[in-house]
Structure 1
Amino acid sequence: MPVVFFGFVPALLAALLLAGCNPTYNWREHTSQDGRYKVLFPAKPATFTRPVDVEGLRVEMTMTAAEVDGATFAVGAATAPDAARAQAALPAMRLALLRNIGAGVDEAPAAAQDGLRVDAAGAVNGRPMRLHGRFAARGERFYQVIVLGPADAAPPEQVEQFLSSFALQ
């Protein structure tokens, strides 16, 4: 009987160690279908396209997103008729997302070298939500890179890894 017991303990320890190697955040590089950007997703993403209205500009937006612990990590990409309309879409997308979570709207969006940024708290159906994101344009293409979810769903270092990994090609 002791042989079974001693054989069981190493197997149990090995199983526990393997379970510890299965991280919640399983980062993987993703290149957009058109090859225009790369980003690290914390899980296997899914992609879909749908029409959206960005302050009167109707476009087909391709969203690629993954969910981890209730937080959605997403990149949206669309094409405007020209570069000026793509730039104008950035604050409009930012404002729409702020409104979606009932967040206070600041008059001057946080500008960054790589576009606009947002870090806001709000609520959806009485549930506290947090929005982190950046918005960028290059030529007639524009992008939203966001993390949205319950206030405590995504640790700051995971949010930053996602946002800072986004790179236009």
Structure 2
Amino acid sequence: MKHKLLLALILAATLSACSPKYDWRDYRSNDAPYAVLFPGKPATQTRSIKLDQLNVSMTMTAAEIDGVVFAVGSAQLADAAQVPAAIEAMKTAMVNNIGGTVTASKTTANGAQEIEAGGKGMRLVGRFMAKDRRIYQAVVIGPATNIDAETVDTYLSSFKLY
């Protein structure tokens, strides 16, 4: 009996030590046509914001793990001609949120703009894109020491428009 109890305790300790930090879950937005994997249970909030001179209603869905926020924001614009300015305003706002500067920037094969920024011990990795009149940002933001490349890649590569 003691051996069974000891075995059960060892097994429980081993399993709890192996519990994943990230609980990746598939999320499909109700307000915009996208899907993404979040590392935990996401929460959604919609609010009015100003992107440069544009007033938009942005819906943010996010999950937080160890002080790192994984978020997707989307907004519908009145005119597709506003997309470039709105994308630039989103990038600027995100970098300003961490008091940072852009350290890397590229355009992906599908036309999304990807940036990395750092400032005051914080790091931001973001992908910004548009489809028709809808703009999107998928970002990872938090203490630089808590953000690893593999997790960022898992999150950003899972983001799909449909």
Which TM class, normalised by the smaller chain length? over 0.9
Unaligned runs of 5+ in 2: none
User: Structure 1 residues 141-150 or 152-161, which shifts more?
Assistant: 152-161
Alignment of 1:57-76 (within 5 A): 57-76=54-73
Q: Please give the root-mean-square deviation of Cα atoms over the aligned residues, in Å.
A: 1.7
Looking at structure 2, the residues matched to 109 and 73 of structure 1 have their Cα atoms a distance apart, in angstroms, of 19
Does 2:98 align with 1:115? no
Looking at structure 2, the residues matched to 161 and 30 of structure 1 have their Cα atoms a distance apart, in angstroms, of 14
SS of residue matched to 2:22: coil
Q: Supply the AA of the counterpart residue of 1:93.
A: M
Looking at structure 2, the residues matched to 21 and 27 of structure 1 have their Cα atoms a distance apart, in angstroms, of 15
Aligned residue for 2:20? Answer: 23
Aligned residue for 1:154? Answer: 147
1:105: Cα distance to partner? 4.9
Q: Supply the AA of the counterpart residue of 1:159.
A: V
Deviations 1:37-60 (A, max 9, x none): 000000010001011100010011
TM superposition outliers: structure 1 runs of 4+ over 6 Å:
none
Greater Cα radius of gyration, structure 1 or 2 = 1
Pairs aligned (count): 161
Looking at structure 2, the residues matched to 25 and 89 of structure 1 have their Cα atoms a distance apart, in angstroms, of 32
1:156: Cα distance to partner? 1.0
Please give the TM-score of this superposition, normalised by the length of structure 2: 0.92
1:141: Cα distance to partner? 0.2
Looking at structure 2, the residues matched to 17 and 112 of structure 1 have their Cα atoms a distance apart, in angstroms, of 41
1:140: Cα distance to partner? 0.4
Aligned residue for 1:130? Answer: 123
Q: Supply the AA of the counterpart residue of 1:129.
A: M
Looking at structure 1, the residues matched to 12 and 102 of structure 2 have their Cα atoms a distance apart, in angstroms, of 49
1:144: Cα distance to partner? 0.6
Specify whether residues 51 and 35 from structure 1 end up closer, same or farther in structure 2 by C-alpha distance, changes over 3 A only: closer
Alignment of 1:27-46 (within 5 A): 27-34=24-31, 36-46=33-43
Deviations 1:55-102 (A, max 9, x none): 010011000000011100000000111112123211111011112212
